[in-house]
Amino acid sequence: MGEYSMDEHQAFEAMSRFIWQFANRAGDDLLTLLGDISMENGKTFDPAAWTDWMECVKATMRTNS
């Protein structure tokens, strides 16, 4: 599936980065975030959400390696 393996702490850190990144860009609109990350056919409704997520995963892996 993917090339990254994360423990629970790293996954939580990546999620936190992702939410803060969204909030800094778009504000605190949780419903918009939930809509953006909704998945259909294996893809997020907003393709940029997946790109943002992967940037957060990579940043987390860099800081924890």
Q: At what angle do helices 47-63 and 30-37 cross, to 10 degrees?
A: 90
Q: What is the pLDDT of residue 9?
A: 94
Token pair listed for 65: 């390696």
E-assigned strand segments in the chain: 39-40, 43-44
Q: What is the pLDDT of residue 64?
A: 87
Alpha-carbon gap, residue 1 to 38, rounded angstroms: 19
Q: What is the pLDDT of residue 2?
A: 72
Alpha-carbon gap, residue 57 to 62, rounded angstroms: 9
The SS3 of residue 13 is: helix
Q: What is the pLDDT of residues 1-59, one digit of tens each?
A: 578 889 999 999 999 999 999 999 888 888 999 999 999 999 999 999 999 999 999 99
